[in-house]
Amino acid sequence: MLWTRLISRLFKEAKPYLQVRDDFKHARISHQYALLLMGHEQGDKKIVEPAVILHDVGWSCLDLQQIAQAYGVRAGGLEAMELNRIHEVQGALIARRILQALDYDAVSTDQITRIVERHDSGTEIATVEEGLVKDADKLWRFSQIGFWKEVERQQVGAEELYRHLDKHLRTWFFSLTARELAEKELRRRAQEMHQVRLGPVRDPCS
Ligand SMILES: [Fe+2]
Ligand SMILES: [Fe+2]
């Protein structure tokens, strides 16, 4: 199968599993970041692209209340960690089923599912590819669409989310490219917040 066709097929297969948390755009934008990162940091696209597209399919095994508890600025505690682990572990099982149905090669499938299974936990990475997937996933929160989407879905103020991202900026990322991108995006979010505070520009002649 042509690579571009396989990527479209993976998005199509992932889509139903991404609907619970409205994650399709998250997968799309994280995939775009993954491509950008690979341009600077190398990494095997046969691992990175499927892993980033499929990484959040496991949220489909939780309901909205559990997801809200497991994820976000205010998530914390043992229960949140356990729920978060469910989305990783179940996600890896779903990802394996999708890849096997597409006859994806077994060695790559193992590597991809290992990344999905630990994409949100642990501070160590086993491979460059794992680091790139984790970085691309986190970069979503710094992107314009991702930042304002998270404000809405986590029901937090933009300032609170901004402070959270600023606090984690120095520890979340494995690649320098991702960290620099996040810094640049966060400066843009600060400008947008400033605009929101000022409100629309009034015409002095009216
Ligand atoms: Fe996730
Ligand atoms: Fe994610």
User: Where exactly are the structural domains of the chain?
Assistant: 7-195
CA of 193 relative to ligand 2 center, distance in Å: 24
CATH architecture of 7-195: Orthogonal Bundle (1.10)
CA of 34 relative to ligand 1 center, distance in Å: 15
Question: Torsion angle, CA of 25/28/30/35, rounded to 10 degrees?
Answer: -160
Question: Torsion angle, CA of 5/116/39/182, rounded to 10 degrees?
Answer: 130
CA distance 83 to 59: 9
pLDDT of residue 206: 54
- Alpha-carbon distances of 111 from 34, 119, 128, 132, rounded to whole Å: 16, 12, 12, 13
Q: pTM for this one?
A: 0.93
Tokens 């979503």 belong to 140
pLDDT in tens, 39-86: 999 999 999 999 999 999 999 999 988 998 888 888 888 889 999 999
CA distance 144 to 129: 25
Ion ligand 1: protein residues whose beta carbon lies under 5 Å: 56, 120
